[in-house]
């Protein structure tokens, strides 16, 4: 049996409905090749799928600067900072920035950009899984004026992990420090099952022709979507299987989690507070303050 036939049989025999978190739940951001290919997507100005396009990001940065009460000289923590597109700009405005992400190409790019923009002395970028950061060892307890966790990344963690991360971020903030979290609006999320496919010569999934088969399953009881991708690499017959979970939260639940994590006041901004982002209506932004 050829490896392609083998792969097709594996697809044919796949479990019908993948359960959340059973075989991972996130993209392989920390795989060096995937990270290198993903960096192209972060920087591609023809779409905003991995990071927002420059103009939209500039509007967000102005908004964050105001709502988080940032000032030159303050310390900002960018949790899942990706290629540092927000962090480096905040450093250009005078902040000291710590960015954490486990994508190696992204962190390398963030460091390069900090140096190129002359702000390397105000930027620390750490290649690390944010769930495994030792907040004590890194001397971060009570050291930040503000933190950001953008583009829905809190949703790729289980509720337990999300709660633990919120508590750690709260711990890392000074009294009065603020955290901004951007999450998909649960009411606007597509709650239907679906599937799709496409082929490409090169792209996110590889540098040679591949076939991507995607399926999406909505789990209504847990309010979570599970996407399952089979990627068949045509030249080798090798197949990758990736599962991506997106936990959605009702506003009351997220506010409750933030308060449980150590924040006292939480402001909620549906649709990015009216910012002109192409998909603003899909999002809710939370700004939580530690007492």
Nearest CA to 93 among 68, 121, 74? Answer: 74
Q: If binding is defined by CB under 6 A, does position 101 make contact with ligand SAM?
A: yes
Nearest CA to 229 among 270, 198, 265, 267? Answer: 198
Choices 6-14, 77-85, 88-96, 137-145 (CB under 6 A): range interacting with ligand SAM: 77-85
Nearest CA to 208 among 241, 242, 238? Answer: 238
Please check whether residue 161 is in contact with residue 130, taking contact to mean a CB–CB distance below 8 angstroms. Answer: no
Whichever of 7 and 85 has its CB closer to ligand SAM, that residue is: 85
Q: If binding is defined by CB under 6 A, does position 80 make contact with ligand SAM?
A: yes
Q: Residues 78, 90, 147, CA angle at the centre, nearest 5°?
A: 30
- Distance of closest approach, residue 126 Cβ to ligand SAM, in angstroms: 9
Q: If binding is defined by CB under 6 A, does position 150 make contact with ligand SAM?
A: yes
Q: If binding is defined by CB under 6 A, does position 50 make contact with ligand SAM?
A: yes
In this structure, is the dihedral angle defined by the CA atoms of residues 16, 20, 23 and 26, taken in order, positive or negative?
Answer: positive
Q: Which of 64, 68, 76, 85 binds ligand SAM (CB under 6 A)?
A: 85
Q: If binding is defined by CB under 6 A, does position 130 make contact with ligand SAM?
A: yes
- Distance of closest approach, residue 267 Cβ to ligand SAM, in angstroms: 20
Q: What would the 3-class secondary structure string for 210-242 be?
A: EEEEEEEEEECCCCEEEEEEEEEECCCCCEEEE
Q: Which of 6, 33, 44, 129 binds ligand SAM (CB under 6 A)?
A: 129
- Encoded one letter per residue, x for contact with ligand SAM by CB under 6 A and - for no contact, window 14-33 reads ------------x--x----
Whichever of 180 and 232 has its CB closer to ligand SAM, that residue is: 180
Q: If binding is defined by CB under 6 A, does position 102 make contact with ligand SAM?
A: yes
Q: If binding is defined by CB under 6 A, does position 51 make contact with ligand SAM?
A: yes
Distances from the Cα of 148 to the Cα of 84, 111, 175, 179, angstroms:
12, 18, 16, 6
Could you tell me how many residues of this chain bind ligand SAM (CB under 6 A)?
19
- Backbone φ and ψ for 123, nearest 5 degrees, come out as -120, 135
Distance CA 104, CA 127 (A): 6
Q: If binding is defined by CB under 6 A, does position 82 make contact with ligand SAM?
A: yes
Strand partners, 231: 212, 240
Choices 95-103, 236-244, 270-278, 280-288 (CB under 6 A): range interacting with ligand SAM: 95-103
Residues that bind ligand SAM (CB under 6 A): 26, 29, 50-51, 80-82, 85, 101-103, 106, 129-131, 150-151, 153, 156
């Amino acid at each position: 049996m050829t490896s392609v036939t083998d792969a097709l049989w594996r697809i044919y025999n796949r479990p019908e409905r993948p359960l959340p978190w059973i075989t991972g739940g996130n993209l392989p951001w920390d795989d060096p090749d995937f990270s290198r290919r993903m960096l192209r997507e972060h920087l591609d100005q023809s779409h905003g799928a991995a990071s927002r396009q420059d103009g939209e990001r500039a509007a967000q940065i102005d908004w964050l600067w105001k709502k988080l009460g940032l000032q030159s000289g303050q310390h900002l923590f960018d949790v899942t900072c990706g290629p540092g597109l927000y962090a480096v700009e905040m450093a250009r405005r005078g902040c000291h920035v710590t960015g954490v992400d486990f994508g190696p190409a992204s962190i390398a790019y963030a460091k390069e950009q900090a140096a190129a923009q002359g702000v390397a002395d105000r930027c620390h970028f750490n290649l690390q899984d944010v769930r495994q950061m030792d907040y004590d060892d890194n001397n971060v307890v009570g050291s930040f004026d503000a933190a950001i966790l953008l583009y829905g990344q809190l949703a790729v963690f289980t509720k337990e992990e999300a709660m633990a991360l919120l508590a750690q971020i709260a711990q890392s903030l000074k009294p009065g420090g603020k955290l901004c979290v951007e999450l998909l609006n649960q009411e606007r999320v597509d709650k239907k099952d679906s599937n799709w496919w496409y082929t490409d010569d090169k792209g996110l999934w590889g540098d040679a022709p591949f076939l991507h088969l995607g399926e999406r399953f909505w789990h209504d009881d847990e309010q979570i979507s599970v996407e399952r991708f089979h990627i068949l690499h045509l030249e080798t017959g090798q197949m990758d299987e990736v599962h991506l979970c997106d936990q959605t939260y009702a506003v009351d639940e997220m506010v409750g989690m933030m308060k449980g994590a150590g924040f006292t006041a939480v402001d909620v901004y549906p649709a990015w507070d009216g910012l002109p982002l192409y998909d603003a209506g899909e999002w809710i932004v939370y700004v939580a303050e530690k007492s």
